[in-house]
């Protein structure tokens, strides 16, 4: 077996793993019924799914002769930005009261998201 | 001498990082690219200095590298765990919970890294920081024992970050 064939198999394997994880992420997003639990599926499963797809891309570019390192950068930026978007969605959930109210912090008075004077809050509270 | 160095390189690791990112963007390693990367690495921290008011006092690169590998491994394990929960646990049996993690870390950079790590690892998403930054609000996807997860975050990640940023 030559290197090309082995490489092609490796690329295929990574493509399958990546798309499998991405599919599970989407399934989780559809399946869970609460906005906070929905947040978990895409933030985590998405990173490895895309990571595996990018590895496949690196492998393929080495196979056809050119080497490409852009994928490493994409992965680094993804790892840096995924927590931030998750954090913002979580904050919106806390604000709009679409999840259980979080417990009070141990030492300080409140969570920084909720630390706004009542009259400046722009998100309307849902009637319960 | 140290003053000149502090003026030119207020954030040496940021300079290094920017140079490496530039070379990765260009997709080639040559003398010209190294020089241009270093120039960018010196100019960009200068221009954005207003958003970097104080440098972290100590920063241990070696421990940081070990930490990155631990986190990468945990991300891999976390993904398989979460994928398993998505596929096997029915919604009615899912037990999500809020956890309050008291923080011993004080530097903003270190807390940011801890929050990012928590979001990327086993079934947890960091949601908020308390108003004076003394505790972190974490949401867990599925757990029977929230205290165990809090202790794991403290012993596995926070202790290591305390050693990195001293």
Q: Where are the domains of chain A?
A: 3-98
Instruction: Indicate left, alpha or beta for A4 from its phi (over 0: left) and psi (-120 to 50: alpha).
Output: alpha
| Cβ pair A70:B24 closer than 8 A | yes
Does B21 contact A at CB distance below 8 Å?
yes
pLDDT band at A118; cut points 50, 70, 90: low
Residues B22 and B14: their CA atoms lie apart, in Å, by 12
pLDDT at A128: 44
Q: Is the CB of A24 less than 8 angstroms away from the CB of B83?
A: yes
Question: In chain B, which residues have their Cβ closer than 8 Å to the Cβ of A41?
Answer: 82, 86
Could you give the CA distance from residue B77 to residue B120 in angstroms, rounded to a whole number? 11
Of residues B104 and A44, more confidently modeled: B104
Residue A15: the pLDDT is: 92
Percent composition of chain A: helix, strand, coil (DSSP 3-state, to 5): 70, 0, 30
Helices (H), chain B: 2-8, 12-26, 31-47, 61-88, 108-120, 146-152, 159-164
The values of phi and psi at residue B100, to 5°, are -105, 120
Contact assignment for B86 to A41 by CB distance below 8 Å: yes
> Which tokens belong to B22?
């530039």
State which residue of chain A sits closest to B102, comparing Cα positions. A106
With a pLDDT cut of 70, the percent of chain A lying above it is 81
Secondary structure class of A91 (helix, strand, coil): helix
Is it the case that residue A112 has pLDDT exceeding 80? no
Task: Please indicate if any CB of chain A lies within 8 Å of the CB of B166.
Answer: no
CA B161, B163, B165, B166 dihedral sign is positive
Q: Quick: pLDDT tens for B40-59.
A: 888 888 887 777 776 666 67
Domain ranges of chain B: 2-51, 61-165
Higher pLDDT, B157 or B4: B157
The alpha carbon of residue B80 is apart from the nearest alpha carbon of chain A, in Å, by 8
The answer to whether residue A97 neighbours chain B at the CB level (below 8 Å) is no
Structure confidence at residue A16 (pLDDT): 93
Using alpha carbons, list the distances in angstroms from residue A117 to A113, A114, A121, A122, B124.
11, 9, 7, 11, 29
| Contact (Cβ atoms closer than 8 angstroms) between residue A75 and residue A69 | no
Q: At the topology level of CATH, where does B61-165 sit?
A: Alpha-Beta Plaits (3.30.70)
Cβ–Cβ below 8 Å for A90 and B125:
yes
ipTM above 0.85 for this complex: no
pLDDT beyond 60 at B66: yes
Burial class (CB in 10 A: 0-12, 13-18, 19+), B48: exposed
Q: What's this model's pTM, rounded to 2 decimal places?
A: 0.78
Kindly report, residue by residue over A42-79, the tens digit of the pLDDT.
Answer: 777 777 888 888 888 888 888 877 777 788 888 888 88
Range from A11-15, A42-46, A56-60, B60-64 carrying the lowest mean pLDDT: A42-46
Q: Which residue of B has its CA nearest to A67?
A: B27
Query: Using CB atoms, which residue from B115, B125, B129 is nearest to A39?
Result: B125
Where does the pLDDT of residue B115 fall: very low under 50, low under 70, confident under 90, or very high at 90 and above? confident
Closest A-chain CA to B91: A32
Q: What is the pLDDT of residues B14-45, one digit of tens each?
A: 788 888 888 888 877 788 888 888 888 888 88
CB pairs under 8 A between A and B: 142
């Amino acid at each position: 077996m030559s290197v090309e064939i082995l490489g092609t198999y490796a690329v295929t394997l990574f493509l399958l793993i990546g798309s499998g994880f991405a599919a599970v992420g989407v399934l989780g997003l559809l399946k869970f019924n609460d906005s906070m639990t929905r947040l978990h599926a895409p933030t985590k499963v998405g990173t490895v799914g895309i990571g595996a797809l990018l590895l496949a891309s690196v492998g393929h570019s080495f196979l056809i002769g050119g080497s490409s390192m852009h994928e490493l950068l994409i992965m680094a930026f993804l790892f840096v930005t995924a927590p931030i978007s998750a954090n913002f969605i979580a904050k919106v959930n806390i604000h709009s009261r679409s999840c259980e109210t979080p417990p009070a912090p141990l030492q300080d008075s409140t969570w920084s998201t909720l630390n706004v004077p009542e009259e400046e809050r722009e998100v309307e509270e849902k009637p319960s | 001498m140290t003053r000149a160095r502090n003026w030119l390189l207020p954030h040496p690791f940021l300079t290094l990082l920017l140079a490496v990112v530039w070379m990765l963007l260009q997709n080639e390693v040559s003398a010209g690219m190294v020089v241009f990367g270093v120039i960018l690495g010196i100019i960009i921290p200068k221009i954005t200095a207003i958003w970097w008011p104080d440098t972290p006092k100590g920063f241990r690169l070696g421990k940081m590298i070990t930490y990155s590998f631990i986190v990468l491994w945990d991300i891999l394990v976390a993904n398989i765990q979460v994928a398993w929960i998505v596929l096997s646990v029915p919604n009615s049996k899912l037990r999500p919970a809020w956890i309050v993690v008291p923080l011993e870390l004080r530097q903003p950079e270190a807390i940011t890294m801890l929050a990012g790590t928590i979001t990327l690892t086993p079934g947890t998403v960091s949601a908020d920081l308390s108003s004076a930054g003394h505790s972190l609000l974490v949401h867990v996807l599925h757990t029977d024992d929230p205290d165990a997860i809090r202790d794991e975050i403290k012993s596995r990640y926070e202790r290591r970050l305390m050693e990195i940023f001293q």
